[in-house]
Amino acid sequence: MNSSARIVLGLVIIVAVVAGVFAFLQAPQTAHGPTESPAGNVSPITIGFIAPLTGDGAALGQNEKVAVELAVSEVNMAGGIGGRPLNVIYEDGQCTGKVASNAANKLINVDNVPVILGGLCSGETMSFAAAAEQAKRVVLSPCSSAPAITDAGDYIFRDYPSDLFQGAFGAKYVYEQLGKRKAAIVYVKSDYGVGLDKVFREEFTNLGGTIVADEGYDQAARDLRTQLTKVKASNPDIVYFVGYTEGSTVGLKQAADLNLGVSMFGADGWGDPKLWTDVGVAGEGAMYTTVSAPLSDDFKAKMKEKTGSEEVLTCSPGAYDGIKILAQVMSKVGTDPTAIKDELYKVEYIGGVSAARVAFDENGDPAEASFAVKVVKDGKAVIR
């Protein structure tokens, strides 16, 4: 083939591709044209969702997604929001700041959503809080607990308590109820882990206890032997271990391999049943703090119908209530993000599944919180 023939062929290909792309873009637009016109108030209200659907914390995120789908279908069955159906765009944040931030940018700039329900991991929420604040979009996180989110912005809310409360509750429990005086801390180096490490350390020391080791690990690390070796050498009474499912799975196993021989005490990141089936005997007797949610029998039954499991995971009640709260707020003030924000500060939601009463303080944090401790027996976590 000579060069002019090549150029002609190249041009033909380019024209064909461009024409194809145009046809592709045109088709759905004409098909959806009528529903997208502002005629009447039946067009769907679309909001965004960000949680890990793959990778670290995916089990929590998938369960949360089911709770959101449940809440959305209930809202729509009851007539939607002022007659308009609620629609959710689900994005995978992979429990990673960079991925979640890309997802949020897409939701804000392309999908133009007024509200994002998410992220789940604190690192996700922190990564896009500033962008959402600047674009004046409401963020409601059902599960991010890092203390820094309190000051993340006016448009940033969560119906899940800050680790300031969880870490302090944990430290108090370990010191007073379990009577431990020497604690070692192993924590994941994420917004979540670093926040809990700091709070636990301060509270435990204030109570009169000693932190004998304080070791962090990368979220992607799957070898915690060096950290655990240092922990073992420090001779603690108990190990406060903050992590997500994957790092904790290897960490608990390696602690057992190293014959650490002391109780392991974790935080709400351990509320994933896969962790306890994966670690097997190495997890027996481990304890962790968890937000105590009222979880109505009705909600549990509906979740079981969809997931086939008795367990409602940590982030799901807050996500379910979050959708209900947003629906209530948008029914009253419409879809303007600033109006939604102003109304959220005034909202009082009674009879939820995440807490008996949900209200937000001046920082967009839950006004109150209560915790419980679970212990692992025969591979299952039960309230202690």
Partner 1 sequence: MEIFAQLVANSVIAGATYTILTLGFNLIYGATRFTNMAYGVVAATGGYAFFFLTRTVGLPMIPSIIAGALFSGVVGVLTDRLIFSPLRKKNVRPSVHVIASLGAFVAIQALLSIFFGAEFWTLLPSGTVRVFDVAGASVTEVQWWIMGIAAAVSGLLFVVLRFTLFGKVVRALSDDEEVGKMLGINTDRTIGIVFFIGSMIAGLGGILVGFDTGIQPTMGLFILIEAAVPSIIGGIGNLAGGVIAAFLFGFVENFGIWFIASQWKAAIAFGLLTLFLIFKPEGIMGKK
The residues of the shown chain that bind partner 1, judged by CB under 8 A, are 54-56, 58, 94, 189, 214-218, 220-223, 225-227, 229-230, 232-233, 245-246, 249-250, 252-253, 256-259, 278-283
CB of 130 to partner 1, least distance (A): 25
Which residue's CB is nearer to partner 1, number 95 or number 330? 95
Which residue's CB is nearer to partner 1, number 2 or number 259? 259
Dist. CA 367–CA 161, nearest whole Å: 8
CB of 258 to partner 1, least distance (A): 5
CB of 188 to partner 1, least distance (A): 10
Which residue's CB is nearer to partner 1, number 45 or number 188? 188
Residue-level length of the chain = 384
Token pair recorded at residue 206: 């204030």
Which residue's CB is nearer to partner 1, number 191 or number 215? 215
DSSP string, 205-268: HHHT-EEEEEEEE-TT----HHHHHHHHHT--SEEEEE--HHHHHHHHHHHHHTT--SEEEE-G
Question: To the nearest 10°, the Cα dihedral for 150, 153, 157, 160?
Answer: -20
CB of 63 to partner 1, least distance (A): 14
Burial 284-306 (b: 16+ CB within 10 A, else e): bebbbbbbebebeeebeebbeee
CB of 99 to partner 1, least distance (A): 11
Which residue's CB is nearer to partner 1, number 203 or number 215? 215
CB of 294 to partner 1, least distance (A): 30
Q: How many C-beta neighbours within 10 Å does residue 273 have?
A: 19
Which residue's CB is nearer to partner 1, number 232 or number 324? 232
Q: How many C-beta neighbours within 10 Å does residue 92 have?
A: 19
